[in-house]
Amino acid sequence: MENGENSIVVVPGANMLFTEEDLDEKSFEGIKIVVCQNEIPVCTTRKALELGRLSGAQTIYSPAPCPKREDFETFCEKIDYLIANETEALQLSGSENISEAVEALQKKYKIKNVIVTLGSDGFALKTDEELTKHPVAEKVKVVDTTGAGDSFVGAFSHSLASAKKSTIEHAKFASFVASRSTTRKGTQKSYFSRAELA
């Protein structure tokens, strides 16, 4: 693909065998962050977010691949941070532009923090206070964008669990880490170590 853009095919396989019966409250004891996405059954995601909330953990949801709106509506009130890419945000909200999508996702689904990753344009963030757009931390030579969204979610989760900062600061860190991951081919092997990022 040109400019390092990607095209992804999902083969769920064993992921669909992970059911809500595999989860219990004990599994969530002492957990700070619960991160879910959409490559497991909807009922399992719903229960994981619910048990995460009950345990006092903060919950993050990445709608990848994008779920049906009616499925999303069954667990959206259990999400503290929604991190979606542009396509996912537009599909979930039914909006035609990102500003409207972010507002709609927060108001309609009552999600306190909505983050939309915008590739080379950075990210948009809607908190209770305001909607802000932030450019990427640094321009990089893009080789492969595969895994950049997962890198953003992982870095955001790490930052949230590790330090008391504002949501904007967590998202800026995640954007920096994700942008660096696009400078290498592949997914996990493209991720920079903590030492490399220092």
β-sheet bridge partners, residue 126: 114, 131
CB 23 within 8 A of CB 34: no
- Among 71, 121, 144, 150, the active-site one is 150
Active site residue 144: no
| DSSP state at residue 65 | S
Rounded Cα distance, 173 and 146, in Å: 19
Give start and end residues of each alpha helix (H) in the chain. Answer: 42-55, 69-72, 86-93, 98-109, 148-162, 167-181, 194-197
* Strands 131-134 and 81-85, sheet pairing: unpaired
b/e sequence 145-180, b meaning 16+ C-beta within 10 Å: bbbbbbbbbbbbbbbbeeeeeebbebbbbbbbbbbb
Rounded Cα distance, 33 and 111, in Å: 16
Rounded Cα distance, 22 and 166, in Å: 34
- Closest Cα partner for 44 from 25, 18, 69, 26? 18
For the annotated catalytic residues, the residue numbers are 150
